[in-house]
Amino acid sequence: MAVPRYIKDERDQILDVILESGIHVKPSYSPEDLERIGFDYEKDVADPGKYPFTRGIHPLGYRSRAWTTRQYTGFGTPEETNKRFLLMISHGQTGLNVAFDLPTQMGYDSDNPMAEGEVGRVGMAVDTLYDFEIAFKDIKLDKIGAGLTINAVASIMLAMYQAVAEKYGYDAKAISATPQNDILKEMIGRGAWIFPVEPAVKLIGDTIEYSMTTMPRTNPVSVCGYHIRESGATPAQEIAYAILIANAYIDNVLARGYDVDDFVGRFSFNLNVFGNMWEQIAKFRAARKLWARNLQEKYNVKKTQNLFLRGLFGGGGYGLTKAQPENNIMRGAYYALVAALSGAQTTALCSFDEAYTIPTPHSALISLRTLQLLMDEMGLRDTVDPLAGSYFIETLTKEMEQKIEEEMEKIVKYGGIVKAVADGYIQRLVAHQAFEVEKGLESGELLKVGVNIYREGTPMDVELHEYNYESAEKQIESLQKVKKERSSSEVARTLKELEKTTREGKNVMPALVECCKAYATVGEMTGIFRQIFGEFQEPSLF
């Protein structure tokens, strides 16, 4: 069941509440509920900063450090994106979360016929290192971390980030980047995949292995339950699949002969916040506990800090509506509240106009101010895990933990997460659930303010960020100029070395860095991988 249900009688009194994850919510909770579920403080909660980290990974929570604000930003040309980066930083944003256009995500250059009409539309167009040089100009790369929201070609973008940092005089060991780099969730949730499962996972393993020594501050993978949730998964499934996906990447690197403590501490997560407030808070608290237990019991992780579930809790795009878009401002504020009450280290909010298009500067600043208001006015930094000890929250967290484990067991019995994705098993499941949600919205069983209830009022005119065709033309002209001015022999040499390295099954990252420094294009580098790996054939979902 993917639709939360309110069972009512003829007088509109609520008889039962069933959350998306299948948990029944009682009218009230008491100490007897904690006894019923076998609640143990030390085992299930413990003090903040102590295993299993249910109450957060830092003993003093937000008193010791505020959450990082990292609004999703990027559109058009690198010049336009750089201006937006600098605007957001000037208003107090403390990290970057970079959006790439669809051609870049799919490994096509801006002058490729496949890119027509999409260059710079939903993110920044990137063709060569020159674009990164413009986008990250005047940004202190040793102080501001950058999330790179890209997956199939994440290895190329991470190599390009290293190359631009070094060009601007930064040591690779001093910079912090977080490429999303989660191809299994792409195959489940978004469809921006290129290569078959095994070589795609191998590329992720290459970035993890490379980062250990060359870029130790980098988080080489950000496991993205976010998009799985947006595609129709329940909150319990979101965490279950995210942990199993992370395990698949761990297993790839362990097979190379490394110790788990050498790399797993740099894993991060990108998780969603929309939905029932209490269910989301319980989800995040249970997720920290289960991730720590998974690492300790399954992989024998020894270093305490490596057991932390680190990541971004935010977004909530699927919860936004085109109807009455101003309501999305309130939704975003509640999503931010959920993230803060859940102990997020980093938070980003979808802006109120993102149900239509990428945010305008005005709407992006409203989202940033929402996070800052919670941080500095509303007391969210006063005490750690303020909901701890609630009969309801502790019971719900324990029940959520059990639901997540049940979902994980289903996938294990099927044959594991890689097989379940390659076969399309999970894709079919979440697609069916997404269909049930849409039916629930149409029938009114799933309530949505402004959509199927409380629809009165005057429609709001929304200032939209309009697509600029001239920007696409400028990007193509810039790419052609780079191609004309670069050393063709050096490009050919580095691409040949990339091909040799790839065919031999070696780590591709050093070769990619050299390709980037020679101004090889994203399409040229991706083309080598396409030639050798082939492309993923999506299984039928129906």
Instruction: Give yes or no for residue 542 having a pLDDT over 70.
Output: no
d(CA 207, CA 179): 10
Question: Residue 22: in which H helix or E strand, if any?
Answer: none
Q: Specify the pTM.
A: 0.94
Structural domain boundaries in the chain: 5-430
Question: Residue 53: in which H helix or E strand, if any?
Answer: none
DSSP state of 113: G
pLDDT tens-digit series, residues 514-541: 999 999 999 999 999 999 999 998 887 6
Instruction: Give yes or no for residue 70 having a pLDDT over 80.
Output: no
Q: Average the pLDDT over each of 50-59, 86-95, 218-227, 271-280 and give the range with the smallest value.
A: 86-95
pLDDT tens-digit series, residues 371-427: 999 989 999 999 999 999 999 999 999 999 999 999 999 999 999 999 999 999 999
What is the predicted pLDDT for the residue at 1?
45
Task: Decide: 148 and 117 in contact? Cβ < 8 Å.
Answer: no
Instruction: Give yes or no for residue 28 having a pLDDT over 70.
Output: yes
CATH 3.20.20.240 fits domain 5-430: yes
What is the predicted pLDDT for the residue at 465?
67
What is the predicted pLDDT for the residue at 467?
74
Instruction: Give yes or no for residue 177 having a pLDDT over 50.
Output: yes
What is the predicted pLDDT for the residue at 521?
98
Share of the chain above pLDDT 90, in %: 77
Query: Which tokens belong to 260?
Result: 């788990």
**pLDDT, mean over the chain:** 93
**Beta pairing, strands 24-25 & 68-69:** unpaired
Instruction: Give yes or no for residue 339 having a pLDDT over 90.
Output: yes
pLDDT tens-digit series, residues 239-283: 999 999 999 999 999 999 999 999 999 999 999 999 999 999 999
How is 91-102 classified by DSSP, letter by letter? TT--EEEEEB-H
d(CA 338, CA 410): 28
